[in-house]
């Protein structure tokens, strides 16, 4: 008899980001902190915070950068994550994420001088900065773990 697994779908409005029925564990950022979901978890509905999702499948860990959304843990070891946006770590374009972060920070700096943005517009720019910092963190983390080691002069 094999151990129970989770069936996970991570969905954004424009695409299916990730899907697997062989998941051992999921770690997800929420407003209350990071929570981990294992097979046979109780039903749950929670908000998701901008951050990094770790998905354990066998001996592999799959990392995603995620913006806000909703987590649903359903009966039958089914987990659905409905995200505003999200990307697998290996799909993140670091140059694009950095450019977006810099543009958003410049908008915020310009607004600080001119005071032309509404509170809602400021919140959107701040959310863009947070999202792109997360993308950079997740993307850089993946690339650091995949960099070849340099030869030593021993």
pLDDT in tens, 79-112: 999 999 999 999 988 899 889 888 888 888 887 7
Same domain, 51 and 80: yes
Burial label, 64 (beta-carbon count in 10 A; 0-12, 13-18, 19+): buried
More confident residue, 67 or 55: 55
Same domain, 57 and 128: no
Q: What is the pLDDT of residue 50?
A: 94
Number of domains in the chain: 2
Same domain, 81 and 97: no
6-20, 37-51, 61-75, 123-137, range with the lowest pLDDT: 123-137
Domain presence at residue 63? yes
Q: What is the pLDDT of residue 78?
A: 97
Domain presence at residue 1? no
Confidence of residue 38 (pLDDT cuts 50, 70, 90): very high
Q: Tokens standing for 98? A: 């950095």
Domain presence at residue 135? yes
Q: What is the pLDDT of residue 83?
A: 95
Residue 135 has pLDDT above 50, yes or no: yes
3-class DSSP assignment, residue 53: strand
Picking from 56, 73, 89, the residue at the C-terminal end of a domain is 89
Task: Calculate the CA 124 to chain-centre distance.
Answer: 18
Where in the sequence is the domain holding 59, given as residue range(s)? 6-89
Burial label, 107 (beta-carbon count in 10 A; 0-12, 13-18, 19+): middle
Domain presence at residue 33? yes
Q: Look at residues 3, 11, 18 and name the one whose alpha carbon lies nearest to residue 70.
A: 11
DSSP 13: T
Same domain, 124 and 83: no
């Amino acid at each position: 008899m094999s151990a129970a697994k989770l069936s996970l779908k991570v969905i954004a409005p424009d695409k299916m980001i990730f899907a697997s029925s062989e998941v051992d564990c999921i770690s997800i950022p929420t407003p209350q902190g990071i929570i981990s979901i294992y097979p046979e978890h109780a039903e749950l509905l929670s908000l998701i915070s901008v951050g990094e999702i770790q998905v354990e499948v066998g001996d592999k860990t799959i990392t995603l950068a995620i913006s806000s959304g909703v987590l649903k843990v359903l009966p039958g070891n089914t987990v659905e994550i409905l995200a505003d946006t999200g990307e697998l770590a290996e799909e993140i374009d670091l140059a694009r994420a950095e450019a977006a972060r810099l543009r958003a920070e410049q908008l915020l700096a310009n607004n600080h001088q001119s005071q032309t943005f509404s509170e809602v517009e400021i919140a959107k720019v701040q959310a863009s900065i947070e999202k792109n910092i997360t993308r950079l963190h997740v993307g850089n983390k993946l690339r650091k773990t995949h960099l070849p080691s340099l030869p030593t002069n021993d």
